[in-house]
Structure 1
Amino acid sequence: MEALRNVIKQSQGRDRLLRATQFASALCAHALRNQSRRKELVTKFKSLEANLSVGRKLFRLGNAMDAGEAAKRSARLSDPVLCLCLTAANVNRALYLMCDNALWAAGAGLLPDLDRGRWGAGACRFYLLSLVMSLTRDAYLVLRLALRHAGDERFRRQMMLHLNQSPQVAPAVIPHLDALVLLLLRGFKSQPAVLLDTVKNACDLPMPLDKLGIYRSDPGTLAFCGLLSSLIGIVTLVRPELRLEA
C-alpha cells in the first residue's frame, strides 16, 4: 500500500495508473464483445475507457515543458548516440504533447476551428518518431552490453562450454544463435532496466502504427500491449532502480 501511495503522489504515477485502467477496460470490452448477455457491461467498459482517455489529456497539460527540459538535459550527454537518440525522442515527445493539448482544447470548445484529424495525425507521427528513437537507444544499449560481455574472459569460457555440450544439428548456424542468445540473456540479467524499457517501447509501438494506417492491429492486441506497457511504467516508479535513465 505504501508503494501505491507513493505512485499516486506523482503526476506521472497517476497518469500511468489511469492509463493501465483505460487499457484494462478496453481489453475487458474486447474480451466480452461476443457475449450477448454482457452488452451492457461492454458499453460501460467502453464508456470508462473513453472518459479515462479524456481525463488523461487534462492531466498531461504542461507535460510538454517537462519533455522540453528533458531534451535540454539529454543534449548535454557525452555519448553522441545517446545524445542524438534521447534528444530526438524528447523533442518529438514534446511536440506530441503540444498536439495532444491542442486536441484537448478543441474538445473542450476552446479551439472550435481546429482541424482535429490533421492535428491527431500529427500527434501520432510525433509519438511514433519518439518511440522509434527510444527503441534505437535501447538497441544501442543492448549492443553495448553484448560487446561488453563478449569481451569478458570468464563469460567466454562459459559460453564455449555450453556450445560444446549442445547437439550440433546445424554447426554453421546454431552455435552463433546460441552465443547471441547467451549474450542477450547475460546483458539483460546485468541490466534489467534495458529489457523493461525495450519491452515497454515495443508494446507502445503498435498504437501509432495502427492509427496512422501503417500496420493494423487487433483492438485486443492494442489493449493488451497498452496495459503491459502501463504496468511496466508503474513498476519502474515503484522500483526506481529498474528505470532506465540514459
Structure 2
Amino acid sequence: MEGFVDFTNRSQGRDQIFRATQYTCMLLSYFIENKGDKKKLVMKLKQLESSMSSGRKMFRLGNTVHALVAAKRTSALPEVVPCLCLTGSHLSRALYFLCDTVLWLRSVGLQPHIDRPKWHTWATKCYYCSLLMNLARDWYEISWRLEEAALEEKTKEKFFSQKDGKEPNGVKCDGLHSFLHQLFQVLKRNPPLLLDLVKNLCDLSGPLDTLGIYKTSRGVIGFCGLLSSLVGILTLASPHLKLKQ
C-alpha cells in the first residue's frame, strides 16, 4: 500500500496512470464502435479518453525545464553515442513539452486563436525525433552487447578447442537465425534494455500515424499505447528495471 501511495504521489506516476486509462479507452472504443447498441458507451469512452489527455497536458506543465536539466546532465556523459542520443532526445522532448503547453492553453480557452493543427504537427515531430534518438541509443546498447557476446563465444570455442587438442574449424552458424538467437539472448539478459526498446517501439505508432508515415488504426495505437504505459508503470514502480542514463 505504501508503494502505491508513493507511486501516485509522483507526477510521473499519475501521468502513466492517466495515459494507461486514455489508451485503454481508445482500444475499447475501437472494438465496440461498430456495434449499434453501444453508441452511448463509445461516446462516454471517447469523452473519458479526451479528459485523460487534457489532464496529462496539465500534469506536464513545467516539464520543459525538467527536460532541459536532463539534457544538461546527459551532455556530460563520457561516451559519445549515448551522449548525443540522450541529449538530442531530451532537447527534442523539451520542444515537445513546449508545444504541448501551447496546445493546453488553446484547449482551456486562454489562447483560442492558436492554430491547433500546426502546433499539434510540430509537437508530434518533436516527439517522433525524441523517440528516434532513444531507439538509436537502444541500438547502440544492443550492438556493443552483441559484439561482447560474440567475443565471449569465440573465446570459449578457442579454449575448448585447445583443451581437446584440436584447431578451431571456423565453421559458424551465420545468418538471420544466428543473429536473432544472439539478439534474444542479449535482451533476455538485460531486462531494462528490453523494456526500453519495447516502450520506444510501441510509442512510435502514434507519431507514424499522425505524420502520415505509416497509417494504422486506433486499435493498434490504443494497444501500443497501453503496452507502453504498462511498461512505464513497471519501470517507475521498479527503478532497477529502468535503463540507466
Deviation at 1:5, TM superposition (A): 2.2
Partner of 2:96: 96
- Identical amino acids, percent of aligned pairs: 44
**Is the CA contact 1:25–1:49 (under 8 Å) kept in the aligned structure 2?**
yes
Once residues 47 and 184 of structure 2 are traced to their aligned partners in structure 1, the CA distance between those partners, rounded to angstroms, is 42
Partner of 2:26: 26
Deviation at 1:211, TM superposition (A): 1.0
Cα 1:243–1:228 change in 2 (3 A) is same
The alignment of Structure 1 onto Structure 2 pairs a total of residues equal to 233
Partner of 1:205: 204
Partner of 1:141: 141
Aligned pair 1:180/2:183, yes or no?
A: no
Q: Which range is displaced more, 218-227 or 3-12?
A: 3-12
Cα 1:72–1:215 change in 2 (3 A) is same
Deviation at 1:239, TM superposition (A): 1.0
Deviation at 1:141, TM superposition (A): 0.5
Q: Which range is displaced more, 175-184 or 211-220?
A: 175-184
Deviation at 1:20, TM superposition (A): 0.2
Once residues 173 and 46 of structure 1 are traced to their aligned partners in structure 2, the CA distance between those partners, rounded to angstroms, is 54
Q: Which range is displaced more, 182-191 or 24-33?
A: 182-191
Partner of 2:167: none
Deviation at 1:155, TM superposition (A): 8.2
RMSD between aligned alpha carbons?
1.9
Aligned pair 1:215/2:214, yes or no?
A: yes
1:73 aligned counterpart, secondary structure: helix
Once residues 55 and 204 of structure 1 are traced to their aligned partners in structure 2, the CA distance between those partners, rounded to angstroms, is 19
Aligned pair 1:72/2:39, yes or no?
A: no
Aligned pair 1:239/2:238, yes or no?
A: yes
Q: Which range is displaced more, 29-38 or 86-95?
A: 29-38
Deviations 1:65-101 (A, max 9, x none): 1001000001000000000000000000000000000
Once residues 212 and 189 of structure 1 are traced to their aligned partners in structure 2, the CA distance between those partners, rounded to angstroms, is 33
1:42-81 alignment, distance < 5 Å: 42-81=42-81
Deviations 1:92-143 (A, max 9, x none): 0000000000110112222233211111110011000000010000011011
Tell me, which stretches of 5 or more residues in structure 1 are unaligned? 161-171
Deviation at 1:22, TM superposition (A): 0.5
Cα 1:217–1:190 change in 2 (3 A) is same
Tell me, which stretches of 5 or more residues in structure 2 are unaligned? 161-170
Q: TM-score, with normalisation over the residues of structure 2? A: 0.90
Q: TM-score, with normalisation over the residues of structure 1? A: 0.90
**Is the CA contact 1:150–1:156 (under 8 Å) kept in the aligned structure 2?**
no
Cα 1:112–1:39 change in 2 (3 A) is closer
Deviation at 1:156, TM superposition (A): 5.3
Code of the aligned partner of 1:56: R
